[in-house]
């Protein structure tokens, strides 16, 4: 279990590592010049944004339940999935309040005035961000104006990597085309979520790196300790 979850985690860590090696950074002058690419990533990133993240959770949970129907009870799968997503998001919220790091687009748009920007009301913040919108960049800037929270850590990254590790953890030891396709899809889906957060100016590479590790540690605990324990309890045992 440790080896497999770590392997999938490493695949996600390559994204911020590559960004670091290339010295990539979100710049206002250059990163709003490819609206078609950004619109595609915007649609993809919405899978981890409220309210669409709830739909993603329901679909992925049902998907895992179906794939593991002969091995785990639906109640155990549902409990672990819900615990993983809710638990990691609680950690994320606490960390954001503790570190209060401005998002890349805020830093670029308002330079040294980012602290003053966060002192404004949400409506005032949104109006300030929308001043940077053009006809081509309106969807992307609108997304930025709707996500005005702090940067570190990345909730979308924790969300995406957690689902990737839930797929890999529950499908450990299983084979077949459906299992293979599901794992490949989960890697592709999660990877694009991470890339979208960089591309849309929502996070720095360090945000993605640490967030991926948070999801890894949390889900390791779930699969190494919690799942084996729950399998011994009558409420969560597989029937039939």
Helix then strand then coil, % of the chain, to nearest 5: 75, 0, 25
Q: How far is CA 119 from CA 27, 58, 77, 147, 224, in A?
A: 23, 36, 42, 15, 43
CA torsion sign, 61 to 2 to 222 to 227?
positive
Active-site residue identified among 92, 103, 143, 156: 156
Q: Is 70 a catalytic residue?
A: no
With left for phi above 0 and alpha for psi between -120 and 50, is residue 238 left, alpha or beta?
Answer: beta
Rounded CA gap, 146 and 135, in Å?
Answer: 17
Catalytic residue among 143, 197, 199, 203: 203
* Residue 71 phi, psi dihedral angles, 5° rounding: -120, -40
How many CB atoms neighbour CB 90 within 10 A?
A: 10
Tokens encoding 52:
């669409």
State whether the Cα torsion 21-22-25-31 is positive or negative.
negative
Sign of the alpha-carbon dihedral angle for 185, 186, 187, 193: positive
CA distances from 125 to 112, 122, 202 (A): 15, 5, 15
**Residues assigned a catalytic role:** 156, 203
């Amino acid at each position: 279990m440790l080896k497999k979850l770590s392997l999938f985690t490493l695949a996600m860590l390559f994204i911020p590592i590559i960004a670091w090696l290339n010295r990539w950074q979100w710049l206002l002058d250059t990163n709003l010049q490819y609206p078609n690419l950004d619109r595609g990533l915007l649609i993809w990133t919405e899978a981890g944004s409220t309210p669409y993240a709830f739909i993603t959770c329901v679909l992925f949970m049902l998907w895992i339940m179906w794939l593991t129907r002969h091995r785990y009870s639906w109640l155990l799968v549902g409990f672990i999935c819900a615990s993983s997503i809710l638990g990691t998001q609680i950690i994320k919220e606490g960390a954001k309040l503790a570190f209060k790091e401005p998002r890349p687009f805020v830093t670029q748009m308002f330079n040294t005035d980012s602290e003053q920007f966060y002192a404004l009301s949400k409506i005032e913040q949104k109006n300030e961000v929308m001043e940077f919108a053009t006809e081509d960049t309106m969807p992307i800037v609108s997304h930025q104006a709707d996500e005005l929270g702090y940067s570190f850590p990345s909730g979308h990254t924790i969300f995406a990597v957690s689902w990737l590790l839930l797929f890999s953890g529950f499908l450990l030891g299983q084979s077949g085309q459906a299992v293979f396709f599901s794992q490949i899809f989960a890697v592709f889906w999660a990877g694009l979520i991470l890339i979208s957060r960089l591309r849309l100016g929502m996070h720095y590479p360090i945000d993605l790196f640490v967030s991926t590790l948070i999801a890894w540690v949390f889900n390791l605990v779930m699969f190494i300790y919690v799942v084996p324990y729950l399998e011994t309890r009558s409420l969560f045992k597989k029937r039939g």
